[in-house]
Amino acid sequence: MKRESTADYDIKMENVRYSAPQRYYGTRILFVIRGSATISFGGRNFEMEESDILVVNRTNNYSVMGSEDNCIITFSISSQFFVTHYKEYFHYNFVCFSKELDPGREGMIAQLRRWVAEIMIADSRKEEGNTLEIRSNLYQIMLLMTRFFKKEAPHWKGVDTSDERIARIIQLIEQRYAEPLTLSELAEHENLSSSYLSRYFKQMTGMGFLNYLNQVRLKHSLDDLLYTSDNLFQIAMKNGFSTAKNYTVVFKSIYTQTPAQYRKEHQHEQLEQHEAIINKVEAHTVLDSPAILDRLASYLDEGIDQSYTIDEEHLEERRIVLNSEDNQELKHEKHIIFIGELKELLNENVKRQLILAKQQMRVDFVGIQKLFEDTISLTESDAVDVSISSPIYANSDIVLQFLKEQGIYIFLKLEYKQICQNEECSIKKLDQFIQHALQVFGRDFVEKWQILFYSKEECSIEASELERVYLRVRQVIKNKSEKMKVGTFFPFDEQKVELPENQQWQIKHADKIEFIGYEADQNEVINFNDINVEEFSKSHRYITNKTRKIKSFIEQNQMDRPMFLINWNILSGNTHHINGNFFRGALILKKILELESEVAGIGFWINSEIHERLQDCSNNLIDSLDLFHFFNEKRPTFYTMRFKEKLRGKVIARGMDYIMTENEDGYQLIIFNERQFSPRYSIDELFVKNRSKELHIHLRGIKPGNYQIRTLKFDRNNGGLYSKWWNLNSKYGIDHEMMDHIVQSLSPALDIKDEYLNEEWSFYSLLTTNAIHFIEFRKAIE
């Protein structure tokens, strides 16, 4: 078929033993699909093997020397076509050699291979209708190159990149540098006077016209100087200089040595050997065989699942200097897993979840807020005569034995409103239960329990009443064990920076309060009648700010006690209608890292099912974080805390979106992309994608050696629950077989590679919205 607009692009597949120095006025992609080749330009050789890709720019005069059986695809995009779709084309070169790209760009190279292979296959079919297929891939290639591989051309530094006239002049100079080009000729071409163009050119480029022209000529002369045996007069004439003397003077003014000295110092090739190969082989032999097309087809699956929508505005540099001398210890706050009632641990499924949480993210306490439901059902008169060995403790003993074996302790949330329903009976039950637990399970286990007196909603209750009940509860506990910790809930008003009036008794009794519990619900500061960006920005640092205000308040009032954040969230607003699209891994991690030095403990719920049942609501919980969903799927909180707990060793570097540690096995690095916004916007795919970012990370100070690098990627599509859930959703329901498939497929992606790391090493990481990447650098044992 006849190719449309042959000047726009060209593609060919050849066996190239030798190609004499040549220049294409456009952008070329060289793709070796068999054998090997050496591409020479700019004073260096690029050794290419099978699957390697190299971009040659319009400014490069290059030559090729290849193996006998090689096969190379040459894909050319004309400058005229490229600049039509990308006006700043002449301001940049494209730097892409697959062997030398930093790790993290493998997916982009895979995409490039795939698109070039598809164009080659479509072109070889010679069928009408292939034009759209080829054009589609052509635009994808141009987009990828302009987003990821462009680098400012040396002569464009300081130039106003929006000036189209300068772009035309530069293009003309690049095309005709070997001719006796003059300023007056260019001025006539642009309908300007010579004097005006001289001033204008210097203003826009920072140098005079003749200096600029000479630099372009010198740049193009280098390959002739290094890879031919031409004398200086021939090289001067070929590149636009009037005499060899003039060429030498200009060359020395830029490179501080003569062309002859430069040739002697930098010439890499033995010209006799070079010319001998040229005389033995044909320049090009076109290949067109089923075997080669089959090889091309192998590239079509590469990059098929990759989607790169990030541009340079979303690329951020991180230069991380490892400091092994001034390092810090990792902080490890206590973890409380709330299960509601003690009897929930009679459920084998809940026990399995708790054991998994203990193994993966560490569990210090089980949070109980209904200790006596179904374990003791006595009247006040009956309670007086209960024996500590009564069979009514049979179920609770099973649970307590399990917790003792797991090394997990009780965190009891003792609510005032429950106590006041029958104070005498409740106090007696508490006393007898603690006595029984001490007798049966021993002090070493029970005395590590913590009891929180909770009185959040009792605003109408007099301070003296709350004070009296707390002191009575505390005394009952202390009569049994002085070591058990008793604390109070702090219903702190962060706006007024004070406790409610009926809670200020806590300040007076600071010596009788051993820890403080508090909650942080950022929805309290949002006006839901005005849902906008500003409203949600108020909630961004709400939890951290409230924590620090409480800490400052208790220090000022001489009641500096350990703080436990028992209930919190990082979602804002009613999320019932967004189908779980709001992925929040990095939001959770960021809060945990901010709070680790502020609090002694943090609370979570074991699963959504128990939480919703105890709170008497359905599918609309936004006031806390659960570890598991229904059917045992792990929620983002589980994996996020797992990553946090995997960190070990000394902290040797820390920034706004990363933390790095060193241990006996090597290094660990967590990077994340925290993005806070209204969850309602998460249903807008473009909005979410625009909040992705790519990090180019430069590590300095690594101990050189061979490492195994393991990367766990946790994001919406890798470990996120709802991307799988809603893809497999059905109006006719989801059965256990489907749920088993979802649960088994939910986990962060794992990538493993072997690398030799120098003291300085860099790589790329593409992080989608609220993604977390956990990277381990494990020293090889050799």
Name the band, by pLDDT with cuts 50, 70 and 90, for residue 725: low
Lowest mean pLDDT among 36-45, 73-82, 613-622: 613-622
Q: Mean pLDDT highest for which of 12-26, 181-195, 605-619? A: 181-195
301 belongs to a structural domain: yes
Q: What is the pLDDT of residues 11-63, one digit of tens each?
A: 999 889 888 777 787 899 999 999 999 999 877 899 999 999 999 998 787 88
Give the lowest-confidence range in 202-206, 356-360, 606-610, 659-663.
Answer: 202-206
* Apex 767 CA angle, 105 and 654, nearest 5: 100
Nearest to 710 by CA among 667, 766, 759, 760: 667
Residue 765 lies in a domain: no
Q: What is the pLDDT of residues 518-570, one digit of tens each?
A: 999 877 777 656 656 555 666 778 899 999 999 999 999 998 899 999 999 88
**Domain for residue 485, yes or no?**
no
The torsion of the CA quartet 532, 537, 538, 540, rounded to 10 degrees, works out to 140
Provide the β-strand partners of residue 590.
none
Provide the token pair at 634. Answer: 């792990």
* Main-chain dihedrals φ then ψ at residue 703, nearest 5 degrees: -75, 120
What band does 453 get if pLDDT is binned at 50, 70 and 90?
A: very high
- Which of residues 84 and 455 earns the better pLDDT score? 455
Q: Which amino acid is at 174?
A: E
Same domain, 66 and 110: yes
pLDDT at 734: 64
Instruction: Determine how many CB atoms are found less than 10 A away from the CB of residue 491.
Output: 18
Residue 167 phi/psi, 5-degree rounding, is: -60, -40
Residue 12 structure tokens: 């060919």
**289 band by pLDDT with thresholds 50, 70 and 90:** low
Higher pLDDT, 174 or 616: 174
pLDDT at residue 355 is higher than 90: yes
CATH number at residue 75: 2.60.120.10
The pLDDT value recorded for residue 743 is 64
pLDDT tens figures, 707-716: 999 999 999 8
pTM: 0.77
Looking at the predicted structure, is the pLDDT value of residue 115 above 80?
yes
Give the sign of the dihedral formed by CA 64, CA 66, CA 69, CA 70. Answer: negative
Is 19 in the same domain as 143?
yes
Q: Where among 280, 297, 324 does a domain terminate?
A: 280
47, burial (CB in 10 Å: exposed 0-12, middle 13-18, buried 19+) = exposed
CA 619 – CA 612 distance, rounded (Å):
7
pLDDT at 380: 40
- Rounded distance, CA 767 to CA 305, Å? 15
- 195: domain CATH number is 1.10.10.60
**Could you give the angle at the alpha carbon of 715 between the alpha carbons of 712 and 720, nearest 5°?**
110
Return the axis-axis angle of helices 348-361 and 394-406, rounded to nearest 10°.
20
Instruction: Return the pLDDT at 729.
Output: 62
Q: Is residue 213 part of a domain?
A: yes
Give the DSSP letter of residue 604. E
Q: Are 27 and 76 in contact (CB under 8 A)?
A: yes
Contact between 506 and 499 (Cβ < 8 Å)? yes
Asked if residue 185 and residue 147 are part of one domain, the reply reads: no
Cβ atoms of 712 and 774 within 8 Å: the answer is yes
Q: Does residue 35 lie in a domain region?
A: yes
Tell me the three state secondary structure of residue 688: helix
What is the predicted pLDDT for the residue at 377? Answer: 41
Q: Could you tell me which residues are beta bridge partners of residue 132?
A: none
Q: Are the C-beta atoms of residues 429 and 368 closer than 8 Å to each other?
A: no
Helix (H, G, I), strand (E, B) or coil at 547: helix
Identify the band that residue 622 occupies on the pLDDT scale cut at 50, 70 and 90.
low
> 3-state class of 59 per DSSP?
coil
Give the span between the Cα atoms of 112 and 96, in whole angstroms.
11
CB 53 within 8 A of CB 299: no
Model confidence at 81, in pLDDT bands (50, 70, 90)? confident
Measure the CA–CA gap between 239 and 217, rounded to whole angstroms.
6
pLDDT of 695 strictly over 90 = yes
* Edge-to-edge strand ranges of the sheet holding 760-767: 315-321, 693-700, 760-767
Tell me, yes or no, whether 240 and 304 share the same domain: no
Higher confidence at residue 222 or residue 675?
A: 675
Give domain status of residue 632, yes or no. no
More confident residue, 298 or 660: 660
Distance CA 453, CA 493 (A): 18
Q: What is residue 763's predicted lDDT score, i.e. its pLDDT?
A: 94
Could you tell me which residue, 169 or 433, shows the higher pLDDT? Answer: 433
- Out of 294-308, 591-605, 670-684, pick the least confident: 294-308
Pairing state between β 62-66 and 601-607: unpaired
CB within 8 A of 534, min separation 6: which ones? none
Check residue 151 and give its pLDDT: 87
Spell out the residues 6+ positions from residue 511 whose beta carbon is closer than 8 angstroms to its own.
none
At residue 88, the pLDDT reads 80
In this prediction, residues 299-317 reach a mean pLDDT of 68
Mean pLDDT in residue range 598-619: 80
Does position 280 have pLDDT exceeding 60, yes or no? no
- What's the average model confidence in pLDDT over 430-441? 93
* 382: in domain: no
pLDDT of residue 256: 87
Q: What is the mean pLDDT of the chain?
A: 83
Supply the pLDDT for residue 471: 97
* Residue carrying the six token digits 């230069």: 319
Do 29 and 74 fall into the same domain?
yes
One domain, residues 14 and 150: yes
Do β-strands 365-370 and 334-341 pair in parallel, antiparallel, or remain unpaired? parallel
Range of the domain at 74: 9-155+286-314
Amino acid in the structure at residue 160: D
Backbone angles phi, psi at 520, to 5 degrees: -140, 100
Calpha distance 266→45 (Å, rounded):
12
Distance CA 744, CA 748 (A): 11
- Indicate if the pLDDT at residue 402 is higher than 60: yes
Strand partners, 651: 328, 661
Domain end (from 297, 314, 331): 314
How many angstroms separate the CA atoms of 431 and 427, rounded? 6
Statement to judge: residues 128 and 144 lie in one domain: yes
Under 8 Å between Cβ of 164 and 87: yes
Q: How far apart are CA 670 and CA 675, in angstroms?
A: 16
Helices (H), 177-334: 183-189, 194-205, 209-227, 232-238, 244-255, 259-266, 271-280, 290-297
pLDDT for res 282: 46
Q: Of the candidates 270, 3, 236, 285, which has an alpha carbon nearest to the alpha carbon of residue 123? A: 3
Task: Give the rounded percent of residues in the chain with a pLDDT score beyond 90.
Answer: 47
Residues 6+ apart with CB under 8 A from 477: 430, 434, 451, 484, 486
Give the pLDDT of residue 4. 39
The mean pLDDT value for 200-222 works out to: 82
The separation between the first and the last C-alpha atoms of the chain, rounded to the nearest angstrom, is: 58
**In this predicted structure, what is the pLDDT of residue 619?**
46
Is residue 94 scored above 60 in pLDDT? yes
Backbone angles phi, psi at 275, to 5 degrees: -70, -30
Q: Are 652 and 330 in contact (CB under 8 A)?
A: no
Higher pLDDT, 328 or 9: 9
In a domain, 125, yes or no: yes
Q: Strand 26-34 to strand 53-56: parallel, antiparallel, or no bridges (unpaired)?
A: antiparallel
Query: 584 exposed, middle or buried (CB, 10 Å; 0-12, 13-18, 19+)?
Result: buried
Domain co-membership, 246 together with 233: yes
CA dist 597 and 562 (Å) reads: 11
Give how many domains the chain has, as a whole number.
Answer: 2
Residue 126 burial (C-beta neighbours within 10 Å; 0-12, 13-18, 19+): exposed
pLDDT at site 524: 73
Half-sphere exposure of 524 (CA within 13 A, CB side): 15
Looking at residue 519, its pLDDT comes to 93
Last-in-domain residue among 295, 314, 333: 314
Q: Is 99 helix (H, G, I), strand (E, B) or coil?
A: helix
- Please state, as a whole number, how many other Cβ atoms lie within 10 Å of the Cβ of residue 749: 13
> Vertex 681, ends 679 and 686: CA angle to 5°?
135
Task: For residues 64 and 147, state if they share a domain.
Answer: yes
pLDDT (0 to 100) of residue 165: 77
Where is 674: in which H helix or E strand?
none
Model confidence at 726, in pLDDT bands (50, 70, 90)? low
- Max avg pLDDT among 250-254, 456-460, 570-574, 657-661: 657-661
Q: Which pLDDT tens digit goes with each residue over 219-266?
A: 888 878 877 788 999 999 999 998 999 999 999 988 888 999 888 887
34 and 136 fall within a common domain: yes
Comparison of pLDDT for 576 and 682, the residue scoring more: 682
Residues 150 and 76 in one domain: yes
Residue 285 binned pLDDT confidence (cut-offs 50, 70, 90): very low
The band of 384, judged by pLDDT with boundaries at 50, 70 and 90, is: very low
Query: What number of other Cβ atoms are within 10 A of residue 576's Cβ?
Result: 11
- In terms of domains, do 105 and 182 share one? no
